[in-house]
Structure 1
């Protein structure tokens, strides 16, 4: 469990405990009709990411950005959290997400020798994280012959790379893109991953009554130590 005092997703200004100013950007909704939210690196592991059960429907996605410049003049923004908002109530508890029945492994989670401190998340190799409907992703991948050339990078205005780089689409480094070949409006919401490649934990927030209020990829831009800093050396190497 993480204290809400050291969790800064969806907060603005300069919260006590960090030296950075935060801003929050609306990236539009992610449509999750299956109730299975996938968190992945959408350019590398789409269709293989961590799946989190959420209420079926359309949910807002918000990006918390930290200004990490020494002068605090906005010159060095870094993505800090990518969040799916499921309930507008304040978070009373923050929990590392652990899939039901999951065992620790070096690709999507790790633990110390006691089996405690288990953390699952997103392995990033393309400097990007994203949320999508897991069932919709599987349908789209099966219906497209050449995913990279037909979807990710081509000459059309809807290429994922083009939209993510566009200053007119959303904020620089983020995109909300339709999944091709699906009929339910399923999409992927994409963001650069803070400091780039690595492993980023997925955490959930909960209201006082335990209701799930949000799913967040913690991009480690405002935390002082990596989440794996307490783990044995061999697991730290695998996780990082």
Structure 2
């Protein structure tokens, strides 16, 4: 199923009512969103991050971290070290399936190899518009500028994008781990070692501590892709790319506006 905000409101109202933390009437929130939707759309063509060799004055490369299974197509994005068990899903969905996950890398001796954008490649079609991923919990009353967006916060320098079933699978797995040792935490007692092991196995565009991981949740068919977040901690948007038929063809986590950011660095 491909969700598009141009369709029926009833489906989105139902989704909004399922969000426990949404404290305003669903119809009111949706009407407010419709009034600012175009302003929140991404103005840049994010697909060029994965098709061009140069963006601005910076060379870019693409790192394929392998396939990721999205069993329901309802997805979320967050800092996996902080909010993996609590992140809300987006109202927009993708068709259930297994898709390549790719990272646009900006290699640089001066600034280090930085991950600028992550793409879930749903199809081979080219996006003609980009819609900001929304959870239905955003505060829409404040005035929005042309470059404003909603996104997810990063406090541990890492991001992820995964299926809501993967979130549930991780919760169950981690609950079992906590029964054995209630003092453990996901970073120090799980992901830290896994990231280092992956860096040894796949050293390209990774530091020794590891910058990406495609981790299968034990005893499930769910997989969790984890990746370094651009310049580090911050607040980052997720965009759904729609093709000419109005179907989702990709989902993008944008960490760095390459042209603007590197021009400011210099």
**Shorter chain as normaliser: what TM range?**
0.7 to 0.9
Task: Identify the residue that residue 167 of structure 2 maps to in structure 1.
Answer: 137
If the length of structure 2 is used for normalisation, what is the TM-score?
A: 0.68
Residue aligning to 2:194: 163
Query: Partners of 2:76 and 2:112 in 1: how far apart?
Result: 29
For structure 1, the 5+ residue unaligned runs are: 226-240
Which structure has the highest strand share of the two?
1
Name the counterpart of 2:96. 56
**C-alpha distance in structure 1 between counterparts of 2:203 and 2:71, whole Å:** 23
Q: Deviations over 1:93-143 (max 9, x none)?
A: 2222224xx2534xxxx6742698773322101000012221231232134
Q: Which position in structure 2 is the counterpart of 1:174?
A: 212
Q: Structure 1 residues 201, 24: closer, same or farther in 2, change over 3 A?
A: same
Measure, in 1, the Cα distance between the counterparts of 2:104 and 2:186. Answer: 27
1:37-87 Cα offsets, whole Å, 9 max, x none, are 2211111110222423211111110010113556xxxx7211100111111
**What TM-score does the superposition give when structure 1 sets the normalisation length?**
0.74
The structure that has the greater radius of gyration is 2
Question: Could you tell me which residue of structure 2 aligns to residue 127 of structure 1?
Answer: 157
Q: How does 1:177-196 map to 2 (within 5 A)?
A: 177-180=215-218, 182-183=219-220, 185-196=221-232
Taking only aligned residues, the RMSD between alpha carbons, in angstroms, comes to 2.8
* C-alpha separation in 2, matches of 1:143 and 1:12: 40
* Greater share of helix: 2
Q: Which residue does 2:107 correspond to in 1?
A: 67
Q: 1:148 to 1:28 in 2, by over 3 A?
A: farther
1:214 aligns with 2:254: no
- Name structure 2 gaps, 5 residues minimum: 1-40, 262-266
Counterpart CA distance in 1 for 2:117 and 2:45 is 15
Whole-Å separation in 2 of the counterparts to 1:113 and 1:141: 37
> Which residues in structure 2 correspond to 1:1-240 (within 5 Å)?
1-5=41-45, 8-15=48-55, 18-52=56-90, 53-68=93-108, 76-99=112-135, 102-105=136-139, 112-113=142-143, 119-144=149-174, 145-146=177-178, 149=184, 152-154=187-189, 159-165=190-196, 166-169=199-202, 171=204, 172=206, 173-180=211-218, 182-183=219-220, 185-224=221-260
- Preserved CA contact (<8 Å) 1:26 1:63: yes
1:4·1:91 contact (CA, 8 Å) conserved in 2?
no
